[in-house]
Structure 1
């Protein structure tokens, strides 16, 4: 328990440093975008590759993946049913809201949490692969239909396949399955780039918090309130029920499954809302409030479940 709290302290300090840098404007107005792109396109792919090429396949495609997929799907369906019955939003906003309840921030917060608290990025890799390769493309296709957006079949295939984190993960898994070990001359620079992932993600996360503000407006307030509760309370409870009740997980596996389910709404959902020009209020404010409230939620989960 002491080690877990020390890990949270380390994470909090780096986030606070990023927040201070953002408020002071020391790194310039585009610091968060530049850092985020560095983490997304270079550092996190390197970390996932480094982790997965030395991990057994059963460490990746394990019970945790089943917990995350199931809890995300159930939470999504619960939100869609509740929203349709209660306040009946337009279909695009309805779908964006559903994604906000179940699409987790695996990069900026999930990777540091997995590395510092759980001891390995392999804990969060499954949910990132699921979101990148399956969940995101499926929801994007549905949004295309709902908004009348036209994209060719080729574009729908190429977009997720060219994601650098997916490419690095697949290559790492292939090397692991084939029992191929790369020479140190190749692994050492990859390792150095991977070392940037955690501090880079946390600094970018802190800087993003310094610039966050709630969009004003009345449309979508029901959505944001419900989304925040469902993302930070309902999905972790569902994950706990599946992990402990159905799969019999315990110890670090149970703790990691519930904590990962409690990660805040992914920041790239604002990209979805902007891309389709619908639900921007919902996406922006859901990201803001789930992010701000997430650390207290994770601390409660830690107090209850950390081994």
Structure 2
């Protein structure tokens, strides 16, 4: 129970930072371009630094823990399921459907995942495989799809070059390389004079993303008339309920996880949608309302689902 309470406190911290962004927008602090500036700075600079700082300090065996199979299978399943449901019922445009798929599968592994892994699971390194999977696979694939759907052009050369245009992926790969070198040599090879400023810049990523998200709430009403309420509700259902169920089935029956490993996989699958999805929507100026509503509602419902999982599996 104390760990669960601590995790709920973590959700409260996130809410306060979002509220700070809303208040800043309410009083026009930063001017009309403040939200865009925060989004772009976090996308191109702060978030890559954060990924490098986290992954470079993780033992390489933790980054590639077998639980990555659970995270991959459950995320791929709900992302594909949303695309199928969209083709059958919602008929959203390609770019919006991609945002919906990302909303369904993308985990908030940083600013909520780390506190949950620390306070509920007792091991913050458990989110490392999710960071790798999302940044090295789902993010470049999703952003490539957004590039193609928004420009109307498909180029194999551009698809192959797309990962080189993703600062988050480059930061993640750099962190993995440093982690591997550290495992081989027995010591961390980046001197403090270089690592500390990278880490400091990375620390600004989460609050900037959260405050930009809070700014987006100014003058908007979630699930308002005219928004695709059915699609948004479907995203939240897929993310917060179906994904943990799939994670349990894969972890329990396919990989034979039990106890702490099983519990960790299911809890992490119940994390809300990551704010990065809104960042990507803003980057391409598509599905902004859809992304915002999905993130907000999944963040509200996720603590309830995690509490139920804690009650059932502990």
TM-score (norm 2): 0.76
1:100 matched to 2:108 = no
Distance 2:272 2:14 in 1: 18
Residue equivalent to 2:237: 229
1:51 matched to 2:59 = no
1:220 matched to 2:223 = no
1:70 matched to 2:73 = yes
Gaps of 5+ in 2: none
Q: Decide whether the 8 Å contact of 2:222 with 2:293 is kept in 1.
A: yes
- Counterparts in 2 of 1:189 and 1:305: CA distance versus 1, 3 Å: farther
Query: Matches of residues 192-271 of structure 1 in structure 2 within 5 Å?
Result: 192-196=200-204, 213-214=221-222, 216-218=224-226, 220-270=228-278
Q: Decide whether the 8 Å contact of 1:137 with 1:156 is kept in 2.
A: no
Shift of 1:112: 4.4
Q: Decide whether the 8 Å contact of 2:108 with 2:275 is kept in 1.
A: yes
Q: Decide whether the 8 Å contact of 1:108 with 1:201 is kept in 2.
A: no
Is 190-199 or 64-73 further displaced after alignment? Answer: 190-199
Q: Decide whether the 8 Å contact of 2:39 with 2:279 is kept in 1.
A: no
Distance 2:298 2:255 in 1: 27
Gaps of 5+ in 1: none
Distance 1:139 1:3 in 2: 34
Distance 1:199 1:271 in 2: 13
- Counterparts in 2 of 1:111 and 1:35: CA distance versus 1, 3 Å: farther
Residue equivalent to 1:89: 91
Residue equivalent to 1:9: 9
TM-score (norm 1): 0.77
Give a deviation string over 1:8-53, Cα, whole Å, max 9, x none. Answer: 3245145325515633657545666555556555554444333333
SS of the counterpart of 1:106? coil
Residue equivalent to 1:287: 295
- Counterparts in 2 of 1:36 and 1:80: CA distance versus 1, 3 Å: closer
Query: Matches of residues 90-239 of structure 1 in structure 2 within 5 Å?
Result: 90=92, 92=94, 93-114=96-117, 117-118=120-121, 121-142=124-145, 149-150=152-153, 152-179=155-182, 180=185, 181=188, 182-196=190-204, 213-214=221-222, 216-218=224-226, 220-239=228-247
